[in-house]
Amino acid sequence: MTETRKFDVVISGGRLIDGTGAPGRNMDVAISGDRIAAVAAPEDASDWRGNLNIDASDRVLAPGFIDVHTHDDNAVLATPAMPAKISQGVTTVVVGNCGISLAPITDIDPPPPLNLLGGRDRFRFDTMVDYVAAVEDTRPAVNVAILVGHGTLRVGAMDDLNQVASEAEIQVMGGKLAASLAAGAIGMSTGLYYKTSKAASTDEVIALAKVVSAAGGVYTTHMRDEADHIITSLRETQTTADKAGVPVVISHHKCSQPDNWGRSEETLAFIENARQSTTMGLDAYPYAAGSTVLDPDWVNDRIRIMITTSEPYPEASGRDLADIAAEWDLDLKAAAVKLTPAGAIYFQIDEMDMQRILAYPPTMIGSDGLPHDKHPHPRLWGTFPRVLGHYCRDLGLFDLETAVHKMTGLPAETFGLKDRGVVREGAHADLVVFDADKIRDLATYEQPMRQSLGIDYVLVNGTLSLTLGNLCPDRAGQVVGRH
Ligand code: ZN
Ligand code: CU
């Protein structure tokens, strides 16, 4: 009689796509505690026994997906089960993007876009130490990697946001940034497009990016301009990264507004060239529309705009701004003024640009989902299955190994998330089992909160978190630092 090897979990019969981009192979995976204990061909794993045994026959087994671009700072505390993410196979979220982080700041009436994270009562963490402790106490279902928002630092340190930060203000921001990085944040984000941060000079950002560099962190940016002046913004991004000596990630890369449709050829050529000398990455979501706060200054009649949320008019959520304006007998701008504070979906991207950017090998996947909107952009619930189903399987933009790499190994490497994003012995047991034939996003602009199909099992740090499409009660997310 042969001896058996005991594990907590054994996943057998699946096709392993390990996150590195390597071809899928039939391999079994065993877990002990929160780590992957063994990976072996089925014939070498016949003596494995798990307390829990998962049959992954006819399924793909992959590392849990890493959502590199989120605004889940408050969501991981307020809705720790994180159904929108776990149901897609996401096991790690990077929070604090676009210059917006929940910490370190208290006692503010959050100006847009900080209000994307919630109202005054949500901003209650004076230090990153406090925020990290709150996440650890809450133990959300997903792992959390934290960026410090430059916009948050500015709101906390500056009297007049319409100015370049003074030397003294840069000192204050730099001090808070350094302390946040020491407390476990992995880097800094900017949102130079937004009114909280527009006035910041490149030098102001470089000064802070140097603090990130000293801590070995990463810099992500929602650039100053994603429309007519996108190349100037790309240049600024490269200059910042070079002068500060920091790796940079261009957030939700797109060519915004009809005049710029088709320009992704130009922007990707710029990025490709920049990557010769600069550590530069990028992320994108698989939709031809963006979403953020509604700002009357951004409204025009060339693109469709849909309201996602409105404080004074909650019933406007899910309706087109043009229809509301017609009903109120107002022009678009005046209607937008009436609706604010509000959020909106802007149909400002060309599908072919988006596909070209998605297919570009260095592009990672980030949902940019906005979890507090009443009628959110469907990317919140659909991003990852949409890439794997619609764009990979149905349209053949890339093979499955590449698709998985864009949402696992590549982001782990880019953000320095040690032992994540790959399936190998010793790595954290963040895993997803899905049906490559059935995986499909169901969330639409009209019905944005529909759960995707085809995700069978999700494990976070060895804990079963989704089974046959249903959330499990145990939550095992950790705060994830840079190695
Ligand atoms: Zn952004
Ligand atoms: Cu964002």
Tell me the per-residue pLDDT of 126-161, one tens digit each, with 9 for 90 and over.
999 999 999 999 999 999 999 999 999 999 999 999
pLDDT value for 53: 98
12 inside domain: no
Rounded distance from Cα 390 to ligand 2 centre (Å): 23
**What span, in angstroms and rounded, lies between the C-alpha atoms of 77 and 64?**
21
Rounded distance from Cα 368 to ligand 2 centre (Å): 5
302 inside domain: yes
Pairing of strands 280-284, 342-346: unpaired
Final residue of a structural domain among 317, 345, 373? 345
Rounded distance from Cα 115 to ligand 1 centre (Å): 13
Find the CATH number of the domain harbouring 336.
3.30.1490.130
Q: Assess whether 232 and 276 both reside in one domain.
A: yes
Q: Encode pLDDT of 13-32 as tens digits.
A: 999 999 999 999 999 999 99
Final residue of a structural domain among 417, 432, 460? 417
Q: Encode pLDDT of 115-126 as tens digits.
A: 999 999 999 999
Q: Assess whether 153 and 141 both reside in one domain.
A: yes
Q: Encode pLDDT of 331-373 as tens digits.
A: 999 999 999 999 999 999 999 999 999 999 999 999 999 999 9
Rounded distance from Cα 129 to ligand 1 centre (Å): 25
**What span, in angstroms and rounded, lies between the C-alpha atoms of 466 and 265?**
40
Q: Which ligand is nearest to the CA of 96?
A: 2
Rounded distance from Cα 365 to ligand 2 centre (Å): 12
Rounded distance from Cα 41 to ligand 2 centre (Å): 41
Q: Assess whether 306 and 413 both reside in one domain.
A: no
Q: Assess whether 321 and 413 both reside in one domain.
A: no
Q: Which ligand is nearest to the CA of 70?
A: 2
Q: Which ligand is nearest to the CA of 194?
A: 1
DSSP assignment of 247-276, as one string? -EEETT----SGGGTTTHHHHHHHHHHHTT
pLDDT value for 1: 52
N- to C-terminal Cα separation, the chain: 44
Rounded distance from Cα 415 to ligand 1 centre (Å): 17
User: What's the mean pLDDT when you consider all of the chain?
Assistant: 98
Q: Which ligand is nearest to the CA of 197?
A: 1
- What average pLDDT does range 474-480 have in this prediction? 98
106 inside domain: yes
Final residue of a structural domain among 417, 435, 453? 417
- What average pLDDT does range 406-425 have in this prediction? 98
Measured CA angle at 226 (ends 220, 232), to 5 deg: 85
Pairing of strands 470-471, 463-467: antiparallel
Q: Assess whether 229 and 365 both reside in one domain.
A: yes
Rounded distance from Cα 186 to ligand 1 centre (Å): 18
Find the CATH number of the domain harbouring 390.
3.20.20.140
Report how many domains make up the chain. 2
Q: Assess whether 174 and 323 both reside in one domain.
A: no
Rounded distance from Cα 195 to ligand 2 centre (Å): 15
Rounded distance from Cα 4 to ligand 2 centre (Å): 49
Strand partners, 187: 147, 218
Q: Beta strands of 35-142 (E only): which ranges?
A: 35-40, 48-55, 60-63, 65-67, 90-95, 105-106, 124-125
pLDDT value for 482: 80
Confidence at 483, pLDDT banded by 50, 70, 90: low
**What span, in angstroms and rounded, lies between the C-alpha atoms of 320 and 318?**
7
Rounded distance from Cα 46 to ligand 2 centre (Å): 46
Q: Assess whether 138 and 222 both reside in one domain.
A: yes
Q: At 442, list the tokens.
A: 């169901």
Q: Encode pLDDT of 29-78 as tens digits.
A: 999 999 999 999 999 999 999 999 999 999 999 999 999 999 999 999 99
- What average pLDDT does range 310-330 have in this prediction? 98
254, amino acid identity: K
Q: Assess whether 339 and 274 both reside in one domain.
A: no
DSSP assignment of 174-190, as one string? HHHHHHHHHTT--EEEE
Rounded distance from Cα 370 to ligand 2 centre (Å): 8
Q: Which ligand is nearest to the CA of 224?
A: 1
pLDDT value for 3: 84
Rounded distance from Cα 344 to ligand 1 centre (Å): 13
- Domain containing 172 equals 64-290+346-417
Is residue 231 pLDDT above 90, yes or no?
yes
Rounded distance from Cα 194 to ligand 2 centre (Å): 11
Rounded distance from Cα 254 to ligand 1 centre (Å): 11
Give ion ligand 1 contacts, CB < 5 A.
98, 222
226 inside domain: yes
55 inside domain: no
Rounded distance from Cα 287 to ligand 1 centre (Å): 14
**What span, in angstroms and rounded, lies between the C-alpha atoms of 234 and 255?**
12
- What average pLDDT does range 206-225 have in this prediction? 98
Q: Assess whether 311 and 179 both reside in one domain.
A: no
Rounded distance from Cα 187 to ligand 1 centre (Å): 16
**What span, in angstroms and rounded, lies between the C-alpha atoms of 143 and 104?**
20
389 inside domain: yes
Rounded distance from Cα 346 to ligand 1 centre (Å): 13
* Spatial CA neighbour of 11 closest among 65, 49, 68, 67: 49
465 inside domain: no
Rounded distance from Cα 39 to ligand 2 centre (Å): 36
476 inside domain: no
Q: Assess whether 353 and 269 both reside in one domain.
A: yes
Rounded distance from Cα 285 to ligand 2 centre (Å): 10
Q: Which ligand is nearest to the CA of 367?
A: 2
* Spatial CA neighbour of 251 closest among 177, 187, 164: 187
- CA 373, distance to chain mean position in Å, is 16
Q: Assess whether 300 and 286 both reside in one domain.
A: no
Q: Assess whether 282 and 135 both reside in one domain.
A: yes
